Amino acid sequence: NFNSDNPGFQGMIQGALSGLQNPSLFSSRAIQDKDLKISSDNSREAQIKYVEAVENISRENIEKSNLFIRSSEELVSDINDDCFLRTGSSLSGQRAGLYQALVSAYLQLTVPPEWLDFHRQIINHFNDGYLIFNSFANCQDDPIKVSLTAEQLPDFLMAGPMIQELFDKKYQELGL
């Protein structure tokens, strides 16, 4: 039974309301240069080596999983199943694990300066994916966080194709 006069309860409500006004509350921390392995070699060969490593990461992680190939309706259904049905296999938890693996893989890459912007964006995107889907996987533990996180899902889903476009543009600039 909640007592609205209780300072602890009021603090919890204030925190939730400030989160609604500050959607970055659950966003990942921005990747700093000190977190990355930045090469001084910006040669075409170094860039091609980086692109090949990115393609390998994609093949090893994303293309093996049908968890990333879902319609909006299927994704919502998966999240609802995780939160309300608890069938034992959390697809959101599996997605969170894949995003976490992608972040780890990208942090291991040495990035040429020409690809640094893309590199930061993709790591931040995958880290956001981890945070979002981890929240959904644990929705019964923190329903307020899930509500706030759900508001970020459309932006997260729209960011993926934009990052792919950046990759494609840089790929074409290399003449590949």
* DSSP calls for 47-82: HHHHHHHHHHHIIIIITT-GGGS--HHHHHHHHHII
How much is the pLDDT for 29? 64
Task: Count CA atoms within 13 Å of residue 130 on its CB side.
Answer: 16
Task: Give percent of the chain with pLDDT exceeding 70.
Answer: 78
Scanning the structure block, which residue is given the tokens 């199943």? 81
Q: Would the pTM count as exceeding 0.85?
A: no
27-40 pLDDT tens trace:
446 788 888 999 99
Which residue carries 């899930």 as its tokens? Answer: 146
Q: Give 77-112 pLDDT, tens digit per residue.
A: 888 877 777 655 688 888 899 999 999 999 999 999
pLDDT above 90 for 43 = yes
Round to whole Å and give the CA distance between 107 and 128. 15
In sequence order, which residues have a C-beta less than 8 Å from that of residue 102 and are 6 or more positions away? 57, 61, 62, 126, 129
Contacts of 125-128 with CB under 8 Å at 24 or more apart are: 125/156, 125/159, 125/160, 125/163, 126/99, 126/102, 127/28, 127/31, 127/99, 127/103, 128/27, 128/28, 128/152, 128/156, 128/159
Give the residue among 119, 127, 125 at the shortest CA–CA distance from 167. 119
Is residue 13 very low, low, confident or very high in pLDDT (cuts 50, 70, 90)?
Answer: very low
The per-residue pLDDT of the chain, averaged, comes to 80
pLDDT digits (tens, 9 = 90+) for 148-159: 888 888 888 889
- Mean pLDDT to the nearest integer, 59-87: 76
pLDDT value at residue 92: 86
| Least confident residue range of 16-25, 41-50, 165-174 | 16-25
- What is the model's pLDDT at position 88? 56
| Lowest mean per-residue pLDDT among 20-24, 54-58, 61-65 | 20-24
- Residue 173's pLDDT is 92
Give the relative orientation of helices 116-137 and 91-108 as an angle to the nearest 10 degrees.
Answer: 160
- Go through the chain and tell me how many residues it has: 176
Mapping DSSP to helix (H, G, I), strand (E, B) and coil, where does residue 97 land?
Answer: helix
Looking at residue 120, its pLDDT comes to: 94
